[in-house]
Amino acid sequence: MTDKRADVLVIGAGPSGAVAAKRMAEAGMKVVCLEQGEWPDRTRFPGDKLDYELTALKQWSWDPNARRLPQDYPIDLSESELIGIGNFNGVGGSATLYGGIWPRLTPSNFRSHTLHGYGADWPLTYEELLPFYERTDREFGVSGLEGNPAYPLGAAPPLPPLPVTKGGMRLARGHARLGWHWWPDCNAIASVDYEGRRPCVQRGTCYSGCNEGAKASPDLTHWRHLVDRGVRLIDGARVRRLVIDKRGLAAGAEWYDRNGVGHIQEADLVICAANAIGTPRLLLASANERYPDGLANSSGLLGRNLMLHTWAMVTGIFEEPLESWRGHRSAVGCMQFYESDEARGFVGTAKWHLEPGAGPLTQALPAPGLGVWGDDHHPRVAERLGHTLTWAITGDDLPSEANRVVLSDNLQDPSGFAAPKVVYRVADNTKRMFEWHVERARESFAAAGASKVETMPHVPVGTHLYGTARMGENPGRSVVDRWGLAHDIPNLAIVDGSVFVTSGGVNPTSSISALALRTADYLATHRSQIPRPERSRTFALTPPGRAKGYGISEPAEAPLAFKPAERERLAALADKLIPSGHGKPAPSEVGIGEGLLDRVVAARPDIVAALRRALQPGSGDGVSWLQELGDTDVEARDALEVAVAGGYYMSAEVRELIGYPGDEPVPVRPEAYPPYFEEGLLDHLLEN
Ligand SMILES: Cc1cc2nc3c(=O)[nH]c(=O)nc-3n(C[C@H](O)[C@H](O)[C@H](O)COP(=O)(O)OP(=O)(O)OC[C@H]3O[C@@H](n4cnc5c(N)ncnc54)[C@H](O)[C@@H]3O)c2cc1C
Ligand code: SF4
């Protein structure tokens, strides 16, 4: 089936696709966007729900390999050192789940090779990108404080800054004492009403969607307006490959709808915005007789030079109650040590952002196998809940051709299309960088008065994706030109993080969006010079296959099917994991085997089968069974721990006793923010 022809076809409805589609539509072009995911239903975002922490681990996970929704695709990590790649597939893209932290690359990031001998120089400068940064700041409604000395001057962020939280003020005072940089971070989060978006209420649940609509997600900032203006956004549309005309020009895409029916969408111009994993996957999967190694791959670099931001985490624990489960994802940023300095034993730029703490389930069970149970349980949760803050540190990942995206032989998505496989090794430079920064972050927490500091020097998770279709002047050393157009195919543009030459040390989306706008601006103004593919061709469909090596999460058994004996066993085991004491009741006393169990399994039907194994007859009710389970059936033990802690911390009585009000919204009032100016906490930076 061939659908009506478009002037422009955009693949992917995340930030980059949204920005490009808007500019193309403003230029009067007929735009169609194909997005494999769904329109988000904001009422289903979990942040304002009692079971938020439970569903954030599964249905709303950042990790598609954990979510396994029908619109997701798996990512083969069998040849990588990573434990996860983060994304979200839907209208809004990964920005549905992102933190909205919105820093810019610095001028040096565009010239790292010339200045510091690492990576490669970009074919453009910060100054060239600046007007696009300022335009996209307005499109996304960015809040922030003007004058950050870490950036060259430019227009002030369009919205006033978000509050510096109680904990943020602690760190700000510490940094003022040390004479170090700190700054209220720029965030694509409304601090006041903005274009129909309500201001932030500090729930801290941004990583699983923002119920308020305060966080700029392209479904709100772009797509709803674009659709009103006639842009055609087709959701549930999984693109399998691009189609090519006889002259080798991009002519459109072959895609499949939710019912598995194939379509061809023809277009004069094709824009890939599927992110730095999804775009190379698509271009590699589009290999044909003319382009046997994939589209736009004459350099052999398509998919290569994959850069990710893996993380180091340094957590300070404070005696003072900070209510640190609240707050947007970054109240404070630190760029004291941003610029590269080889004398430190590594190269590259790195930024820190201050993450709030988390709710009680996450404090009790930070990851499978890491829960603290028995008599130490209550003291651990009491020490942490509302008392922790984390410096999340990320920095330049050096481009390496060995780190790459290829097509998986073993995994296919729910439509039967080859999944991307990520081949990735963490660079020694990254390890040295994190070790050094972790020590500085310890000093920061010491200056802020933390009573304890805990470190995770390397968390091998990639949520910032770059480099797999590098931009450059030389077609032998890059995939796209300085405007984002493929060297090999002049009517194919790439606007996502694939085009980055170096990653820099800051969160990417502000720069991805500015670059997407710059490319779209170029396309709109040079439209007449871009060759058009032939019209009226009939492209053959290649029928999809079946998913391989990947199961979609299906609702498990009916939640209420637990028998009384199983419920009793759960209560007995729960009391061993979380014994009464320290003024807190045992789980059996608050109904863990009754209504709370039903709530847990209604939220997490995926754990029912494993939980049932943990509660099997003859399992006993003691510590030895818990030990045996840990040795013989880790999945069952994990399910038991999730059910017990998840249920216990949903109890209203327990929440009251631990002083946790859950999802209570606290509207921000810019006029009531802590007086960091009056306290002189920025004086040392402003003087310079
Ligand atoms: C948990 C998390 C937290 C993050 N926090 C931050 C942050 O605070 N600040 C920041 O700057 N960045 C953050 N990021 C990264 C940020 O989300 C991305 O940089 C940004 O979304 C990239 O935009 P994009 O449009 O290029 O790609 P994406 O947002 O990934 O969108 C790509 C879209 O393409 C669609 N697509 C892919 N393949 C196909 C296909 N074959 N057919 C049809 N559709 C397809 C996908 O479904 C998806 O919707 C975070 C990411 C995650 C996962
Ligand atoms: S903290 Fe603010 S931006 Fe984040 S989810 Fe809550 S309201 Fe949205």
Percentage of residues in the chain having pLDDT higher than 90 = 89
Q: What is the pLDDT of residue 620?
A: 61
Q: What is the dihedral sign for C-alpha 241, 247, 248, 251? A: negative
549, pLDDT greater than 80: no
- In one letter, which amino acid is 533? P
Q: Is 191 in the pocket of ligand 2 (CB under 6 A)?
A: no
| pLDDT tens figures, 173-194 | 999 999 999 999 999 999 999 9
533: pLDDT strictly greater than 70: yes
Tens of pLDDT, residues 593-610: 999 999 999 999 999 999
Q: Which of these ranges, 147-161, 190-204, 246-260, 616-630, has the smallest mean pLDDT?
A: 616-630
**CA angle, corner 212, sides to 210 and 215, nearest 5?**
50
Alpha carbon distances (Å) from 599 to 18, 54, 555, 646, 655: 38, 10, 14, 9, 16
Of 175-184, 559-568, 622-631, which has the strongest mean pLDDT? 175-184
pLDDT at 108: 97
State yes or no: pLDDT of 109 exceeds 90.
yes
The per-residue pLDDT for 270 is 98
Q: What is the C-alpha separation between 85 and 421, in angstroms, rounded?
A: 11
Question: Alpha-carbon distance 51 to 644, whole Å?
Answer: 13
Q: Please name the residue that has the structure tokens 């009680």.
A: 360
Give the pLDDT confidence of 457-512 residue by residue, as tens digits: 999 999 999 999 999 999 999 999 999 999 999 999 999 999 999 999 999 999 99
Q: What percent of the chain has pLDDT over 70?
A: 97
Tell me which of 98, 189, 219 to substitute to probe ligand 1's pocket, judged by most ligand atoms within 8 Å of the beta carbon: 98
**Local confidence band at 615 (pLDDT 50, 70, 90 cut-offs):** very high
* Cα–Cα distance for residue pair 544/536, rounded to 1 Å: 24
Of 178, 681, 675, nearest in space to 446 by CA: 178
Q: Residue 52: is its pLDDT beyond 70?
A: yes
What mean pLDDT comes out for the span 532-539? 80
**For residues 413-441, average pLDDT:** 96
d(CA 561, CA 553) in angstroms, rounded, equals 19
The residue type of 627 is Q
**Nearest-angstrom CA–CA distance, 537 and 681:** 65
User: Among 225, 250, 228, which Cα is nearest to 8's?
Assistant: 250
Q: Is the CB of 274 under 6 A from ligand 1?
A: yes
Alpha helices in 385-471 (DSSP H): 428-448
CB atoms within 10 A of CB 557: 12
Task: Please report the pLDDT score of residue 595 as a whole number.
Answer: 94
- State the pLDDT at residue 664: 85
CA 600 to chain centre: 26
Signed CA dihedral, 556, 373, 655, 583: sign only? positive
pLDDT in tens, 119-153: 999 999 999 999 999 999 999 999 999 999 998 88
Identify the band that residue 2 occupies on the pLDDT scale cut at 50, 70 and 90: low
Longest dimension (CA), the chain: 76
Q: What pLDDT is recorded for position 673?
A: 87
Distance CA 15, CA 274 (A): 10
Cα 269 to Cα 249: distance, rounded to the nearest angstrom: 9
CA distance 494 to 266: 17
**Residue 253 CA, ligand 2 centroid: distance in Å:** 36
Per-residue pLDDT, 3: 66
Q: What is the DSSP letter of 31?
A: E
Contact 204 CB / ligand 2 (< 6 Å): yes
Of 405, 365, 410, residue with least CA distance to 647: 365
Please, what is the end-to-end C-alpha distance for the chain in angstroms? Answer: 64
Mean per-residue pLDDT, 304-321: 97
**Taking residues 351-372, what's their average pLDDT?**
94
Q: What is the pLDDT of residue 559?
A: 55
pLDDT at residue 619, as a whole number: 63
Instruction: Tell me what pLDDT residue 238 has.
Output: 97
Please indicate whether residue 484 or residue 551 has the higher confidence score (pLDDT). Answer: 484
Q: Which residue has the tokens 């003291």?
A: 379
Model confidence at 539, pLDDT cuts 50, 70, 90, reads confident
Measure the CA–CA gap between 292 and 248, rounded to whole angstroms: 12
Query: Which numbered atom of ligand 2 lies nearest the CA of 209?
Result: 5
Q: From ligand 2's centre to the CA of 347, what distance in Å?
A: 34
pLDDT at position 558 over 80: no
Q: How many angstroms separate the alpha carbon of residue 99 from the centre of ligand 2?
A: 9
* Among 570, 368, 335, 317, residue whose Cα is nearest residue 440: 335
Task: State pTM to two decimals.
Answer: 0.97
- The pLDDT assigned to 353 comes to 98
Residues 6+ apart with CB under 8 A from 148: 183, 186, 335
pLDDT of 152 reads 84
Determine whether the shortest distance from the Cβ of 11 to ligand 1 is under 6 A: yes
Count other C-beta atoms under 10 Å from residue 2's C-beta.
Answer: 14
Query: Ligand 2 pocket check: which of 205, 220, 324, 329 to mutate, most ligand atoms within 8 Å of Cβ?
Result: 205
pLDDT of residue 554: 64
pLDDT over threshold 80, residue 405: yes
Please state the rounded mean pLDDT for residues 298-322. 97
Between 15-26 and 509-525, two packed helices, what is the crossing angle to 10 degrees?
30
Sign of CA dihedral 196, 200, 206, 210: negative
- Sign of the torsion formed by the C-alpha atoms of 571, 572, 575 and 576: negative
Least Cα distance to 424 among 395, 481, 462 occurs for 462
Phi, psi of 614 (to 5 degrees): -70, -20
Give dist(CA 481, CA 380) in Å, integer.
54
Structure confidence by residue, pLDDT tens digits, 635-644: 999 999 999 9
Domains parsed from the chain with CATH numbers: 2-42+59-364+387-529 (3.50.50.60), 554-650 (no CATH)
- Asked if pLDDT for residue 1 goes beyond 60, the answer is no
Residue 401, C-beta contacts closer than 8 angstroms, at least 6 positions apart: 301, 304, 305
C-alpha 414, offset from chain centre = 22
Q: Using 50, 70 and 90 to split pLDDT, how confident is the model at 658? A: very high
Give the model's pLDDT for residue 219: 97
Decide if 145 contacts 674 (C-beta within 8 A).
Answer: no
Residue with tokens 């097509």: 407
Q: How confident is the model at residue 560 (pLDDT cuts 50, 70, 90)?
A: low
pLDDT tens for 262-296 read 999 999 999 999 999 999 999 999 999 999 999 99
Answer yes or no: is the C-beta of 340 below 6 A from any ligand 1 atom.
Answer: no
Ligand 1 pocket, 273 CB below 6 A?
A: yes
Q: What is the pLDDT of residue 421?
A: 98
Bridge partners of 404?
304, 423
